[in-house]
C-alpha cells in the first residue's frame, strides 16, 4: 500500500479545512516546503498537494509555495510532482 500525505495550501500555509469551509481552516505548518521535507524524512515517496485558494478562485494562487515544495522534494528518494489541474465547474 502507498500512502500519500497531503499538503493543502491556503494563504501560503499548510491547513486542514473543517467540512470544506475556507473560513474554518486550522494551520498545521506555516512553511509547506518544510512540511514536504518532513514527510520525505519520514520516508514518504509521494505527496498530494492542493492549492485550496486556487480551487476556490479557479486560477493558481499559491504558485510560489508549490514551487518551493517541488524544489524541496527534489531528492533521490522523492520523485518530482507529476501534474496538477484546476477546473472551475
- What confidence tens digit (pLDDT) does each residue in 23-67 have? 999 999 999 999 999 998 998 888 889 999 998 898 889 999 998
| Mean pLDDT confidence for 57-82 | 77
pLDDT value at residue 88: 44
For residues 79 and 8, give the distance between their C-alpha atoms in angstroms, rounded to a whole number. Answer: 19
Q: How confident is the model at residue 3 (pLDDT cuts 50, 70, 90)?
A: confident
Decide if 65 contacts 31 (C-beta within 8 A).
Answer: no
- Flag whether pLDDT at 89 surpasses 90: no
pLDDT value at residue 18: 95
For residues 52 and 22, give the distance between their C-alpha atoms in angstroms, rounded to a whole number. Answer: 8
Question: If we measure between CA atoms, which residue out of 10, 8, 13, 74 comes closest to residue 40?
Answer: 74
- Flag whether pLDDT at 87 surpasses 50: no
Amino acid at each position: 500500500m502507498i500512502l500519500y500525505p497531503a499538503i493543502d495550501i491556503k494563504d501560503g500555509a499548510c491547513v486542514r479545512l473543517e467540512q470544506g469551509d475556507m473560513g474554518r481552516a486550522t494551520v498545521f505548518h506555516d512553511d509547506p516546503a518544510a512540511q514536504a521535507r518532513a514527510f520525505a524524512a519520514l520516508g514518504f515517496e509521494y505527496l498530494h498537494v492542493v492549492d485550496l485558494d486556487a480551487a476556490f478562485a479557479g486560477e493558481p494562487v499559491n504558485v510560489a509555495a508549490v514551487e518551493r515544495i517541488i524544489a524541496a522534494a527534489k531528492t533521490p528518494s522523492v520523485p518530482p510532482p507529476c501534474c496538477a489541474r484546476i477546473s472551475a465547474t
